[in-house]
Structure 1
Amino acid sequence: MTRTLLCAAALAALTLPAAAQDPATGVAEIIVTATRLPAVALDTPGARVIDEDDIQRRGAVFAADVLADVPGLSVYRSGPGGVTSVRMRGAGQDKSLILVDGVPLNDASQPAGGFDFAGLDLGDVRRIEVLSGPQSSLWGSDAIGGVIAFTTREPDGLAAELEAGAYNTRRGRISAGVADADRAVGVYASRFETDGVSAADGGLETDPSENTTVGLNARKALSAAFSLDARLRWSDSFAQLDGFGPVDDPNEAAATENLSGHVRLSADRVAGLDHQLTLAASRIDRDSRGAFPAVYGGDRRIVRWQAMRSDRDAPLDYTFGLEREEVEADLNGNLGDQTLNAAFGVARWAASERLALTLGLRHDDISGVGAETTGRASAAFELGGGWVLSGAYGTGFKAPSVAQALCDFCFVLPGTMIAALRPESARGGEIALAHASPDGRWTGRATLYRLEVEDQIDGFFDPGTFEFYYVNIDRTRTNGLELEGRADLGRGLDLTLAYAFTDAVDEATGVPILRVPEHAGSATLAWAGERLSGALTVRAESEMPDAAGTRDGFVVANLTAGYALTSRVDLTLRAENLGDAGYQQLHGFGEPGRSAWAGVRLRW
């Protein structure tokens, strides 16, 4: 049944999105900005945009609720509230760079430097951009698999939302602010609490979780050319977990606190260029409780200057800049740091009315590691009739994390020689065929890609001596197909389809990469009437290899609905796992059965 649904989604998606419109029609294009130089999503291989309407239509609470439907992304968690990871195109969860308002959030104290999506609340997020494939030429280390960039909103007015339902779940959000062309100031806060279900599949105890998120923003036009903006975001999460088995364990828990923000000075048309000077920082603190208690913390500070020339009427657009990043980590009392200095540039040349070429280069110099130069070249050719053929080839790298460089958790006998760690490296190419109907009602894209990662860093354990340390050992390869489509069916109906075939193999062992399903797909039918709106989403995944066995495939259906009681009051309904399927995202970890939540949304 799962395979049948996935094949049907794949065939249907061939006829339909990535989501931009033909400029000649006058229909608004979808622009992606995480590319450093703004670009049309339809012409940019591997680029996807999830806007505020998509987030609200899906009733998404946390980032993982919508990222699972992006083709090529594998999302899994160790039970509700547990560690939530994302693999892009088969690459490890630590090989994707996560940005919020341009600030990297990857955990500097995590062994491999990955990111936990469990507490990333979407209430203040207005846009998500996904760039699949090696993007180190744009963002440096950690962007081997790609980049996921979140942009928060500027509240304008007063809004509130309350929701309650299954598993004694309570959720509230409130935002207030003013925003116009010259200034903005706002505040956002959310709170989520649930008794949850057992994180261990079939466990007898419940594992509660909670999250609090607060955001502040301000913007001021200093003159006709200069403006200043600042943002601050804080979140605090707690989850009771079941680990090592997984089995019921009332003492296993994790608390995580994230703080990130930036101050940015913008100058328009100074010496013919638009400039941005950004000071940014992020901090994460983790407290793991249970059989192996530990306290970790990571700091990241960034200074970035970027200049840009972007003119659609000119044949050449370009941007360039300098960046300095300082990382510090406290690994349960073991201190380490890393410094990175970089220069980058991106240029796009309209070689003709139909052909556009883009080239990006970046040079990074990392303390204790050395220098790395990466690049990415892409092309987009308009075939006519709304068809666009595009392709890209890029390289990437990932420097050893602070934990790996310090050999955290290592045990080595005297006299044992350990080779110095080399940066992981990647190369990847893709080709895509996209189509947009002249009226913008139908859009679709099919993408074929290959991603190779060499010198992957992994832990090595010698059972004879009980030694453990990090080495460059693995080489992986992923071949894949991604299909996506969107259609305006009329009468307020909208259909979105996505499918991914992912063949990911560890070439060192010849076996499939763990935690990457071969087939995954989703279909969302949304409707919007005068008062009633909603969306039905069906998502399916094939079986997935895992460390403790094979996780079975599954099909799960979710429903969201809203009813406009007045111009300022909406009633909401959110229901998950409509078929009451017994399924797992991660082998051995349970997921909720059929469940529903009702709420109210207010605007002033």
Structure 2
Amino acid sequence: MTRSLLLATAATVLLPAHAFAQAADDPLPEVVVTATRLPAVVADTPGARVIDRATIDRRGAVFAADILPDVPGLSVYRAGLGGVTSVRIRGTSQDKSLVLVDGVPVNDPSQPAGGFDFSGFDLGDIERIEVLGGPQSSLWGSDAIGGVIAFTSRELDGVRAEVEAGAFDTVRGRLAAGVAEDRYAIGAFVSRFDTDGISAAATGTEADGFDNTTVGANGRYAFSDRVGIDARVRQADSFAEIDGWGPVDTLDTAATVNRSGRARMTVRDLLGLDHQFIAAASDVERITDSAFPSTYEGKHRLWRWQADSRGAGPVRYAVGLEREETEAFLNGSSAGLGVGSAFGTVRWQASDRLTLNLGLRHDSTDDFGGETTGRLSAAYDLLAGLTVSGAWGTGFKTPSVSQAVCDFCFVLPGTVVAPLVPEYATGGEIALGWRSADGRFDGRATLYRLEVEDQIDGFFDPGSFEFYYVNIAETRTDGVELEGGAILGGGFDLSLAYAWTEAVNATTGAAILRVPEQAGSATLGWSGERLSAALTVRAEGDMPDSGGTRDGFVTANLNAAWNLTDRVTLTARVENLADERYQQLLGYGEPGRSGYLGIRLRY
């Protein structure tokens, strides 16, 4: 059944469509992406996708991992509800996905590879999610080999409250308030999620609970038409009962605190440019209580200056300087890395039909030398609603702090371990998009290749129990991404996504673990005068995993909202509608059919 649905999705998505259609009979809007430093139209930007707040609400997404699987080319897997949740972009390992919150890198430098754990990332305060696939080091430096996932917080004017309860004794609440005027804004929010959960181990019998509290605040003030400041802070506290290696039932727990913040000054029309001066930080603390207890802490510090050109001429550009420092505390020891960077990106509207983009960046690391990366992209209007676009870029990633100091390593005397070198990537893609004249249908098909040289991986000898990190020769991912949507009339809309991904070790030919070859999703939405609903069906094919193959699956979620008044909305959602018994990660269970009821208040 899984294969049949995937093939059907692949065929259907070739019809006119757009990945994240909005519920209306009006034309689909032209979507803009901002993580490109210079705002760009998504249809002209290869590998770019945007999920807006309306889509998040319509899908009933609570955490980022609830909606990111809808993006073609992203594979999401978790070690049970509340367990470590990772995202791969285009087959690359999770540490090669750079995660930004309001422009602040939040990847965990204390993790062995430096990836980000999405398990407790609440979407209550998020206005939009942007995904950039392919090497983006020319924009964002190290860690962006596979791509970038950027979250942008929202600014409220009024009060919002939400309460929901349902299966597994789950209770969720949000409260946010703010004032937003032309000259100033101030706001704050708190979100709370608590559930008794299910067993993290698929064969387990005891439930593993999970709770998360996320709080944040924002402020903005304009001293004049030219000078202003703004700031944001965010903190998420999570506590998860997890199961031990196997996985098997244990009483292990993990407590995690994530903090991030940014302060920015904006000065407009200074020497003919608009300037941003940013100081930002993110910290993560993680304490695991198990047979092998551990305490880890990671810190990011970032300083950035960026200047953008003014006006609306055929040439737009942005240039900047950055200094980033990371430090990790690993079970009592500590180490750090630093990098200074200069970057620039330029867009040239060569004609009414041709747009060219070029980005260059030089990163000078304190420990691994310097590297220059670039990305060139173009989009050409073929008329009749057709647009062809393409991109080619390079990327690099330095060893993480944990890898550099060889945390977790066990090396016997006499064993010679080669020093690690940075990973390097090249990637290219070509896309063909179409948009109907009335704006009700659009879609895009993308073909890409991504190669990573000197990828860092762990080496384990089961005979001697030696473990250390090595550079392997090369990995390669070939893929096809199809996406689309349509305004069908009568309040109905349809969005579709499909990805075929072949990720292999180019030296041995072995498949890269935890990357399903096929994955797809389809969402049928409907909006009436007061009632709206969305049915989302997701499918993944078989996936190679540690210890075997994880079977493919098909799941469906239904979300509905009824506006009692302009200020009061009742909500209902059912997850895993068909009560499918499946696993995202081999050996870890997922909830069966579960329902939730809630209420939203606006003032």
Q: What's the TM-score bracket when you normalise by the shorter of the two chains?
A: over 0.9
CA offset at residue 492 of structure 1?
1.3
Deviation per residue, 1:455-480 (Å, 9 max, x gap): 01112223444332211125211110
Q: Which residue of 2 aligns with 1:7?
A: 7
Query: Which amino acid letter does the alignment assign opposite residue 299 of structure 1?
Result: K
* 2:229 pairs with 1:228: yes
Q: Which residue of 1 aligns with 2:383?
A: 384
CA offset at residue 18 of structure 1?
5.0
Q: Summarize the alignment of residues 141-220 of structure 1 with structure 2, pairs less than 5 Å apart.
A: 141-220=142-221
* 2:246 pairs with 1:271: no
Q: Which residue of 2 aligns with 1:350?
A: 349
SS class of match (1:511): coil
Q: Distance in 1 between matches of 2:577 and 2:29?
A: 36
* 2:288 pairs with 1:317: no
Q: Which residue of 1 aligns with 2:332?
A: 333
Kept in 1: contact 2:20–2:495 (CA 8 A): no
Query: Which amino acid letter does the alignment assign opposite residue 301 of structure 1?
Result: R
Q: Distance in 1 between matches of 2:330 and 2:277?
A: 31
Q: Which residue of 2 aligns with 1:537?
A: 536
Q: Which residue of 2 aligns with 1:286?
A: 286
Gap change, CA 1:263 and 1:331, over 3 Å in 2: same
Deviation per residue, 1:547-599 (Å, 9 max, x gap): 12111110000000011111111110011011011011011110111100001
Query: Which amino acid letter does the alignment assign opposite residue 526 of structure 2?
Result: W
Kept in 2: contact 1:458–1:474 (CA 8 A): no
Query: Which amino acid letter does the alignment assign opposite residue 501 of structure 2?
Result: T
Gap change, CA 1:494 and 1:26, over 3 Å in 2: closer
Q: Summarize the alignment of residues 427-446 of structure 1 with structure 2, pairs less than 5 Å apart.
A: 427-446=426-445
Query: Which amino acid letter does the alignment assign opposite residue 438 of structure 1?
Result: A
SS class of match (1:512): coil
Kept in 2: contact 1:18–1:434 (CA 8 A): no
Deviation per residue, 1:259-317 (Å, 9 max, x gap): 100000011222211110000000000001112100000010000000011543x1111
Query: Which amino acid letter does the alignment assign opposite residue 4 of structure 2?
Result: T
CA offset at residue 9 of structure 1?
1.1
Q: Distance in 1 between matches of 2:39 and 2:472?
A: 38
Q: Distance in 2 between matches of 1:243 and 1:90?
A: 27
Q: Distance in 1 between matches of 2:9 and 2:311?
A: 39
Q: Distance in 2 between matches of 1:56 and 1:474?
A: 44
Q: Which residue of 1 aligns with 2:518?
A: 519
Query: Which amino acid letter does the alignment assign opposite residue 560 of structure 1?
Result: N
CA offset at residue 428 of structure 1?
0.4
Gap change, CA 1:585 and 1:310, over 3 Å in 2: farther
Q: Which residue of 1 aligns with 2:358?
A: 359
Deviation per residue, 1:43-63 (Å, 9 max, x gap): 000000000000000000000
Kept in 1: contact 2:19–2:496 (CA 8 A): no
Kept in 2: contact 1:108–1:329 (CA 8 A): yes
CA offset at residue 355 of structure 1?
0.7
- Give the RMSD, CA atoms, in angstroms: 1.4
The TM-score with structure 1 as length reference comes to 0.97
SS class of match (2:56): helix
* 2:57 pairs with 1:50: no
CA offset at residue 414 of structure 1?
3.4
Gaps of 5+ in 2: none
Query: Which amino acid letter does the alignment assign opposite residue 298 of structure 1?
Result: G
Query: Which amino acid letter does the alignment assign opposite residue 74 of structure 2?
Result: L
Kept in 2: contact 1:37–1:310 (CA 8 A): no
Q: Distance in 2 between matches of 1:464 and 1:82?
A: 30
Kept in 2: contact 1:360–1:376 (CA 8 A): yes
Kept in 2: contact 1:20–1:40 (CA 8 A): no
Q: Distance in 1 between matches of 2:279 and 2:558?
A: 41
Deviation per residue, 1:116-137 (Å, 9 max, x gap): 0000000000100000000000
The TM-score with structure 2 as length reference comes to 0.98
Q: Which residue of 2 aligns with 1:426?
A: 425
Greater shift in the superposed pair: 138-147 or 417-426 = 417-426
SS class of match (1:12): helix
Greater shift in the superposed pair: 252-261 or 461-470 = 461-470
SS class of match (1:579): coil
Deviation per residue, 1:2-38 (Å, 9 max, x gap): 11111111111111225799xxx99752111100111
Q: Distance in 2 between matches of 1:359 and 1:26?
A: 31
* 2:484 pairs with 1:491: no
Query: Which amino acid letter does the alignment assign opposite residue 471 of structure 1?
Result: V
Query: Which amino acid letter does the alignment assign opposite residue 402 of structure 1?
Result: V
Q: Distance in 1 between matches of 2:254 and 2:117?
A: 12
Q: Distance in 2 between matches of 1:20 and 1:221?
A: 35
Q: Distance in 2 between matches of 1:222 and 1:420?
A: 52
Q: Which residue of 2 aligns with 1:66?
A: 67
Q: Distance in 2 between matches of 1:467 and 1:584?
A: 31
Q: How many correspondences in the alignment?
A: 599
Q: Distance in 2 between matches of 1:466 and 1:197?
A: 33
Gap change, CA 1:586 and 1:463, over 3 Å in 2: closer
Q: Which residue of 1 aligns with 2:466?
A: 467
Kept in 2: contact 1:525–1:535 (CA 8 A): yes
Q: Distance in 2 between matches of 1:162 and 1:465?
A: 54
Query: Which amino acid letter does the alignment assign opposite residue 520 of structure 2?
Result: G
Kept in 1: contact 2:21–2:485 (CA 8 A): no
Moved over 6 A (4+): none
Kept in 2: contact 1:20–1:443 (CA 8 A): no
Kept in 2: contact 1:177–1:184 (CA 8 A): yes
Q: Distance in 2 between matches of 1:112 and 1:272?
A: 42
Q: Which residue of 2 aligns with 1:590?
A: 589
Q: Distance in 2 between matches of 1:400 and 1:35?
A: 25
Kept in 1: contact 2:550–2:585 (CA 8 A): yes
Q: Which residue of 1 aligns with 2:137?
A: 136
Kept in 2: contact 1:457–1:474 (CA 8 A): no
SS class of match (2:516): coil
SS class of match (1:181): coil
Gap change, CA 1:550 and 1:28, over 3 Å in 2: closer
Deviation per residue, 1:444-497 (Å, 9 max, x gap): 000000001110111222344433221112521111000000111112111000
Gaps of 5+ in 1: none
Query: Which amino acid letter does the alignment assign opposite residue 411 of structure 1?
Result: F
Kept in 1: contact 2:375–2:391 (CA 8 A): yes
Q: Which residue of 2 aligns with 1:39?
A: 40
